[in-house]
Amino acid sequence: MKNSEDAYGQTLLAQYNHRTPTAEIIERDDNYIDTGSDPGLYFSEYDEWSPLERRVIEFAKGRILDVGCGAGRHALYLQQKSFDVTGIDNSPGAIKVCKLRGLKKALVRPISEIDKFKPNSFDTIQMFGNNFGLFGSFETARLILKKFARITAPDAQIIAQSRNPYQTIEPEHLAYLRLNRRRGRMSGQLRIRARFGKTIGEWFDYLFVSPEEMQNILKDTDWQIKEFIEPEAASYFAIINKKLINKIYCFRTLNVHQIIKRPAVE
């Protein structure tokens, strides 16, 4: 992402520099506009997180990749707990903020280029803050899930948060879900862009899915739901495990030591 399009990163930088909560402004392609998250959310400390977030972060294990790490609130917490954690974001401004705040491993990298990491680099991939949405669409999700398989250990997991798009009574949101279905998109496939000052971000797809839709996306991939956490909530988590059935895949990507330690079983 070019700096001149990094409205999201500039929002985070403004907040970092001025030490005041800044609301992000998000436009949807039906002209709907709103302030995206609670001002200050991206910089919230562990004590300010929701009980759900605090519960789910406990699942983090091994070498962790935080996809769409924002201002680094989760990555910094895990780094402080001595985890080996890497944060990536396609926003140069976000990564700048992460580094300024002390995150040691922080990279500007879009999710589409996730396969630049070496095979078996991570044990946990986390997508907090509804960042399952970064998959963008059904097709892209399945493409990236393959890349996720490549860069992770055989017993890796994804910890993902999504928002259930059907949990709304707002007429304008319900109309948007219908519009999406009419134009052959998933209901919750939001086409949005960030705005900050005169900076207008590029349009991109951010995918909200129900637990059932998430199941569908994972079908016949290398990944499967281990458990949903509060699936009935508007914003819920999924613990997604790598399937251990693909022996050929494992032999190709693991070194001998790992195969001995963690045999691939059916």
Q: By the criterion CB under 8 A, which residues form the site for its own copies?
A: 23, 25, 30-35, 39, 172, 195-198, 200
Min. distance of Cβ 196 from its own copies in angstroms?
Answer: 7
Strand order in the sheet with 235-242: 105-108, 84-89, 63-67, 122-127, 152-163, 235-242, 223-229
Select from 160, 162, 164, 161 the least CA-distant residue to 240.
160
Q: Please report how close the Cβ of residue 8 comes to its own copies at its closest, in angstroms.
A: 13
- Taken in order 20, 207, 127, 49, the sign of the CA dihedral is positive
Distance CA 207, CA 205 (A): 6
Q: Output 40 or 263, the one with its CB closest to its own copies.
A: 40
Residue 212, phi then psi, degrees to nearest 5: -65, -45
d(CA 111, CA 207): 14
Smaller CB separation from its own copies, 168 or 216: 168
Report, in Å, the least distance between residue 236 CB and its own copies. Answer: 22
Give the Cα-Cα-Cα angle 58, 249, 223 (nearest 5 degrees). 40
Identity of the residue, 34 or 212, whose beta carbon is nearer to its own copies in the bound complex: 34
**Tokens 């300024």, residue located:** 100
Q: What is the smallest separation between the CB atom of 22 and its own copies, expressed in angstroms?
A: 8
Number of CB atoms found within 10 A of residue 11's CB: 28
The residue among 35 and 50 lying less far from its own copies, judged by its C-beta, is 35
Q: How far is the CB of 172 from its own copies (least distance, A)?
A: 6
With respect to its own copies, which residue has the nearer C-beta, 158 or 194? 194
Q: How far is the CB of 31 from its own copies (least distance, A)?
A: 5
Query: Residue 74 CA to chain centroid, in angstroms?
Result: 12
Q: Quick one: 32 or 59, whose CB is closer to its own copies?
A: 32
Q: How far is the CB of 124 from its own copies (least distance, A)?
A: 34
| Cβ neighbours of 212 (radius 10 Å) | 10
Q: Which is nearer to its own copies, 91 or 253 (CB)?
A: 91
CA pair distance 131, 120, nearest whole angstrom = 22
- What is d(CA 152, CA 135) in angstroms, rounded to the nearest whole number? 17
